[in-house]
Amino acid sequence: MNKFALAGLGAVCLLTAGCPHNEYIVDLAPRGASIDRQVTFFRRDGTNDSSADFPTNELARIAACYPPERLQRDAKKYTVSGTFSEALPPDLGGSGTYTNIQTVLGEAGFYAERFRGSDAPAEGVARRLRAADQLADLVLGWSKAALGSEPNYSNLHDFLDGDFRKDLRNLAVYSWTADVAAHFKPGAEEEFAGRVLQYLVERHYLQFSEVPALLQALDDDFDGVLATFVRRTFAAKLAGTNTAAAPSDAVARVADREVLEQSWHDFLAGTPEYKELLRKWEEQSGSDGDARRPEPWDVIQEPLSDLVQFGFSGEPDRLTVRLSLPARPLHTNGRWDESAKSVVWEHALEPDVADAALPPYCYAIWSRPNEEYQRQRFGEVRLQGDDLLKYCLWYASLDPRRAAEWDALLNRLSPGEAIRKKLEAFRFSEAQPGGSYPLAIRVLPSIVDALAGNSESGPD
């Protein structure tokens, strides 16, 4: 296989399937102030068989988040479990929290977790933009070495350092956007591939009628595609105002596949980037005699892969999260499974790198009324759903003394009373007398309305 195809393969192999990958199943069950967590994990060999060996380094990382006795093994499938409050363990690489607010009227629960990666997208975008600039610099340097003596080379130089560089940077942003969109919209990668082709057509890098042949050539004749691009684009820029002129001998020469490959090889071998790769290899080879000597093509491989990184490098890992709840949550980005009484999330997991596209994020918010207590005080369940959620958030903001005073008020209520009047008359002990709205009503008018019930009229 030619070297250009090898470099391109590093970018297009990102869509491979059927490769070994890890699978993780996270089961969560809230228990008041704490939450039970069980993680089942194993490695598939590229089929439905889970007989592959799980990576030992990741096994050690997951196990370190739990007591030793909580790691169980069944053949090559592992399970760990534990009970946590507030911070969740970073077992799968990420960060998560669980919060439960309990009041006499009911409770509210909050679950949120990021898996792997980072929610700081700036570095992911910056990495792709750096890759675009690196590729533009390499193409610019090669063009000067191969075609710098051409009469109209300044036209080509200005194009490569101007429009071509900007187009690469735009494609870099397309790449990052496609990675993000894939988390929210099925088939996003296919749509963005179409957008990229449209972009290239609009900027005259190719004609739309050539797209079918281009897609076939990417598999069978990658260097032929590149040679065609060099012959068409470079010849047009070097022709200047004489657009009908035939390509110069120099352009025709470097557009030859073998000459083009050798020309790039020689150029890359003399770059500072390749010399740095050799220096690092020489340092490493002293301790690792099997270290592979870098080739000039390695200089272009990394920025090319970074630039067109649609999807994942190889088969992604698979993640399923199941949160058991008595009823559908108020707010979530997961799917409610009524039969299992669970919120379910299913995600592909990128490699655990800090500047990957937006990582999977799961959240759920729910509330559950204390029906017995509310019936004792109001004769019916008056506070539930989002109203109960708001109430719990407000209650959590009270210091212990205020919370005790408020609870004491609720404990004195009974069905049939003029509850609104009691709420309107309530003051925290440090409140200034004569205020038109006591703190409880000013902060939570909708909650007071719900507690008072529809049968009681509000304040004038």
* pLDDT given for residue 118 in this prediction: 72
- What is the DSSP track for 377-435? HHSS----HHHHHHHHHHHHTS-HHHHHHHHHHHHT--TTS-HHHHHHH---TTPPTT-
Q: Is residue 294 within 8 Å of 281, Cβ to Cβ?
A: yes
| Per-residue pLDDT reduced to its tens digit, 286-297 | 666 677 889 999
| Per-residue pLDDT reduced to its tens digit, 221-259 | 556 666 677 777 777 777 765 555 556 777 777 777 788
| Per-residue pLDDT reduced to its tens digit, 368-389 | 999 999 999 999 999 999 999 9
Q: Is residue 5 within 8 Å of 303, Cβ to Cβ?
A: no
Give CA–CA dist 94/178, Å, rounded. 22
Q: Is residue 40 within 8 Å of 62, Cβ to Cβ?
A: no
What are the respective helix, strand and coil percentages of the chain, to the nearest 5?
50, 20, 35
Q: At what angle do helices 257-269 and 298-307 cross, to 10 degrees?
A: 100
Domain boundaries, the chain: 3-12+121-307, 22-119+315-368, 398-452
* pLDDT given for residue 8 in this prediction: 46
Q: The tokens of 9 are what?
A: 């393969």
The H or E element containing residue 166 is helix 165-181
What are the b/e assignments for 371-408, b being 16+ CB within 10 Å? eebbeebbeebbbbeebbbbbbebbeebeeebeebbee
Q: Is residue 419 within 8 Å of 452, Cβ to Cβ?
A: yes
- The residues facing 28 across adjacent strands are 37, 323
Over 50: is that where the pLDDT of 183 sits? yes
* pLDDT given for residue 393 in this prediction: 94
| Per-residue pLDDT reduced to its tens digit, 283-327 | 887 666 677 889 999 999 888 888 876 544 557 889 999 999 999
The H or E element containing residue 322 is strand 317-324
